[in-house]
Chains A and B, each alone.
Chain A
Amino acid sequence: MRDRNDQNRSGPGFNRRDFLKGSAAAATATAMATQGSEEAAAANLKTNVFAAAAQNVTLNVNGKDHTVKVEPRVTLLHVLRNNLNLTGCKEVDERSADGADTVMIDGKTVLAGSRLAIECEGKKIRTVESLRRGEKVDEVVAGFVKHDAMQCGFCTPGFVVATRAFLDKNPKASLADIQKGLGGNICRCGTYQGITACALEISKGGK
């Protein structure tokens, strides 16, 4: 169970999922209280809160429409990984502090774990898998391989997407730009040297 849900922490950070859960809980609590027993409401709060029913959500991923039936509380990350089997984006930290769940939505980097799937209808979602078509790979994928910008590889796809989107926006990025622009992702094995070299090569050192 994630710590975020605990009462004795300083409180969860604002997050859509918490907000939705919180509202549902508050509504149930009010209804119960008017029936006379606040204690009963509190006691049942934990067990009587259920999510809204699953509904059809159509997502455009890597140029293809997919319709999945999911509850409104389900994140884009879970739909991509668990329903569509696009497991390149990883679940590393429930708070998305690491960037391994980076995808592109309408060309912008987004942390798939902090977006609800229903929010993403009608948008163009791109995952790391789109950067390889058979033998043909995107220059960022090729650059990561060339500079050995990976070890265990678990953070790598998220870093690849972040790098692709960053370079699309900053084709002439300098070293300082790269260090700032790719600061949203974490690698544990220590592959930053190769990632920096890859990004610098593609941006031609900002010149």
Chain B
Amino acid sequence: MAERKVAWKKRKDNTLIGGDHTRIDGVEKASGHAKYAADINTAGTLFARLLTFKGGAAVVKSIDTADAEKTPGVRAVHVFNGAGKELRWDGTIVAAVAADTPEQAEDGVRAIKVAYEAKPHWVDEEDLPGATAGKRTKPLGDNKKGDVAAALKAAKHVHKGYYGIATISHMCLETHGSHCEWDGEDKLNVHLSTQNVSGTGGQFAGPLGIDASNVSITCNYIGGGFGSKFAADEWGVACAQLAKKAGKPVRLMLDRATELKIGGTRPSGFAEVTIAADAEGNITVWDSHHWGTSGIAGSTISLGQLPYCFDGIPNRNRKATGISTNTGPNRAWRAPPHPQLCAVTDTVIDDLAAKMGANSYDIFMKNLDKTPKPDVYAEEMKIGAKLIDWKAKWHAHGKGGGKSVKRGLGMALHRWGGRAGATTCTVKVHPDGAVETFLGSQDLGTGTRTVIAITLAETFGLGINDVKVNLGNNSYPKANPSGGSITVGGVSGPHRRAGLEALWKIYDLVAAKYKVEADSLSAKGGKILSAGKSVCTWKQACGLLGPMPLEVQGQGPKNDGLTSQGVAGIQMADVSVDIETGIVRINELVAVQDCGLIIDELTARSQVYGGLIMGIAYALSEERVMDNRTGRFINADLENYKLPRIGDIGKLKVHMYQPDSEYERGVVGLGEPPVISTGAAISNAVANATGVRVPVQPLTPQRVLEALKGGQA
């Protein structure tokens, strides 16, 4: 027998992989039948509400919950921060009340008497001199490469500018939280809104003093995470404690304001940058100092990755300063911290092109030799340019035509890793032909379930709906937390491996029974074929297993070519800027994205559309606004924290770059990359339209008007 080797099928032999397939849980979601943690209503469930601190910093002087305990309907009160505790940012949870109804829980919260002693705070993340004077800064390192001074002297074109990108929040539509129900004294069932089904049980068990084996975590659906939902969190543990105290199940979800304030933020970054190039436009110098905040810890975007993607620039100085602010702590935000790095790199390159009077496209193209994937970027740029009609639409910076509405083009590029996460699955093939799999993974909305079903169905020659996917519970084999674009690679490799191993066993049974060569067999259309001719049905073949199901474990990642890592990606924007109102409208966005072998192109494209739309949000409208005087996050609601709506996105074109060379790379993660360069591409298009750089994203009407007036945005 020929050696059996794990691999994907030859591209042309696939019947499912690479096609457009709707999600297997689509109807459940669209018809409102999918149950999220926020929807769990087991009998007697109590509702929790939170008392939070509103201000920059304080110490709790006293707290009295006696009246809350006596409030009708209230069953339990939990104090997070009692007398003497220091509160260091707006939104810190002070206490929680669980009651028969949400309204009664609110009554209970109102009945808590708490006194604070205000402490000094600092919330300004952009004002470096102020933060320095207030001793809120710390150096985060600097390093040098080459000889910046000499190269600057030799350079033909030098540009110096100021750039930045504000803090944003994750704004998960399903806020962080859980439903906790005790089974006896020491067994806990948690429905948790989490990106980390397999890894959160112990985080409940430790503080609750029970065995980790006694904590069941379930998450069938999650209403957004974006990097902010990996932990049980103090409010998750508190939910379990309230449930214990009350002797009833409790559902505790953060309210919207608290979600925005403490549920996770993306750190800000502001930078002073000098860039220089030779006469041909080859970039020779990068010199930057950047600062920003991640909250009280006082970090900012990492130093090591500037200039973003263009690491090959020969002469480089870089320095970072962190500002400690009294603001809610950061969490990983989709592609950390690449959107910020891109926002303070590709804008600078675009301004250099403007200074040279060059076409931005040419300058990016010329400098691709300094990036990790010059050939892929070049091909993607050519495709993008065609899709947006760059050549015909291009004009010099500031020559955007029109009287009050100016039009412009911009582009930017990005990269990401996307290596498969460590995952184990158990695949079962039943004697009646039914196929199912179990793993402690989660479907964030990327289509994890669907991708798994496609992988097994392709392997066994079945339909997608013939595969039952069981995920979302920590009693299943351990799967990676879903963060960093590692899940589709993480789950598809082990399922292909387990699927092939199961299929080979079935082939051997079929070969023996029907007297055919095992090597000649293939599975297609619900049948086992030998050299193209039907031998038996899939069901008949599985019947040869005997009374017990066949069970195979799949593991990954392995170095067998099923998965790999590293993607490029480019985006281009066509915008209109109203110079009287400062409003920026998207005419068109183009994304060209590679990601190795694509399993389901429909859901893959959805990831890229989603990235573009989230990119429009942080490029144009969304940001955390802190009030210096009160220390408060003053737009922590969906009216004032501005997200684009359906009419704000313009025309979107997505091109999945997938020559055979990509297919041969195996599966690479896709979730993060498409959100990275949107902001810089849009900012560059605005600069091209108006001839003025709006330095800080989001490019709100106010910032646009201030930049046009020559003021600082």
Contacts and interface: CB of A to CB of B under 8 A. Distances in A.
Interface of A: 1-3, 5-6, 8, 46-47, 49-51, 70-71, 73-74, 78, 81-82, 85-95, 97-98, 100, 127-129, 131-132, 137, 141-142, 144-146, 148-157, 160, 178-180, 182-196
Contact of A78 (B27, B54, B102): B102
Nearest to A186: B643
Which 7 A-B residue pairings sit nearest by Cβ, starting from the closest? A88-B32, A190-B613, A154-B223, A151-B445, A179-B647, A153-B29, A190-B610
B100 to A, nearest CB: 10
B107 interface: yes
A50 B610 contact: no
Contact of A154 (B36, B103, B257, B643): B36
A90 B610 contact: no
Given A95-B638, A190-B610, A90 B173 contact: yes
Contacts of B603: 148
B445 A137 contact: no
Contacts of B646: 178-179, 182-183, 185, 187, 192, 195-196
A85 B606 contact: no
A6 B225 CA distance: 28
Contacts, number: 216
B223 A97 contact: no
Contacts of A89: 32
B49 A1 contact: yes
17 contacts: A1-B110, A3-B637, A50-B107, A71-B103, A95-B256, A97-B639, A131-B31, A145-B30, A148-B26, A150-B445, A153-B29, A157-B29, A178-B646, A188-B614, A190-B612, A190-B613, A192-B609
Nearest to B21: A148
B31 A157 contact: yes
Contacts of A129: 31-33
B400 to A, nearest CB: 24
B308 to A, nearest CB: 22
A153 B109 contact: no
A22 to B, nearest CB: 14
Given A87-B39, A148-B22, A156 B30 contact: yes
A70 B103 CA distance: 10
A192 B647 CA distance: 9
B174 A1 contact: no
Given A78-B103, A150-B26, 16 more contacts: A1-B109, A3-B257, A49-B110, A87-B38, A92-B638, A95-B638, A131-B31, A148-B22, A150-B445, A152-B174, A154-B36, A156-B29, A188-B643, A191-B606, A193-B649, A196-B646
B39 to A, nearest CB: 4
Interface in B23-77: 23, 25-27, 29-36, 38-39, 41, 45, 47, 49-52, 54, 67, 71-72
Given A51-B107, A71-B101, A148-B603, A85 B652 contact: no
A42 B559 CA distance: 70
Contacts of A178: 646
A160 B109 contact: no
Residue among A70, A141, A156, A194 having the largest count of chain B Cβ atoms under 10 Å: A156
B15 interface: no
A78 B101 contact: yes
B637 A93 contact: yes
Nearest to A2: B255
Contacts of A190: 609-614
A154 B610 CA distance: 14
Contacts of A180: 647
A150 B30 contact: yes
Contact of A153 (B101, B172, B223): B223
Contacts of A91: 38
Interface in B140-195: 171-174
Nearest to A135: B27
Nearest to B609: A193
A50 B603 CA distance: 50
Given A3-B54, A90-B223, A188 B32 contact: no
A130 B605 CA distance: 30
Contact of B41 (A8, A50, A87, A191): A87
Interface of B: 22-23, 25-27, 29-36, 38-39, 41, 45, 47, 49-52, 54, 67, 71-72, 101-103, 106-107, 109-111, 171-174, 221-226, 255-257, 444-446, 602-603, 605-607, 609-614, 630, 636-639, 643-647, 649, 652
Contact of B630 (A8, A51, A73, A191): A8
B223 A152 contact: yes
B52 A1 contact: yes
Given A74-B103, A150-B26, A194-B609, A94 B255 contact: yes
Contact of B101 (A3, A82, A88, A151): A82
A148 B602 contact: yes
Contacts of B36: 87, 90, 154
Contacts of B226: 188
A9 to B, nearest CB: 8
Contacts of A1: 49-52, 106, 109-110, 255
Nearest to A138: B31
Contact of B110 (A47, A97, A132, A137): A47
Contact of A145 (B27, B50, B171): B27
Contact of A132 (B27, B45, B107): B27
Contacts of B25: 153
B52 A154 contact: no
B173 A155 contact: yes
A157 B177 CA distance: 20
Contact of A152 (B39, B102, B221): B221
Given A87-B41, A92-B638, A151-B445, A191 B35 contact: no
Contacts of B106: 1
A92 B41 contact: no
A2 B256 contact: yes
A186 to B, nearest CB: 6
Contact of B637 (A70, A95, A182, A185): A95
A144 B30 contact: yes
A92 B173 CA distance: 6
B174 A90 contact: yes
B17 to A, nearest CB: 17
A1 B51 CA distance: 5
A3 B636 contact: yes
Contacts of A71: 101, 103
B606 to A, nearest CB: 5
A82 B41 contact: yes
B270 to A, nearest CB: 26
B256 A191 contact: no
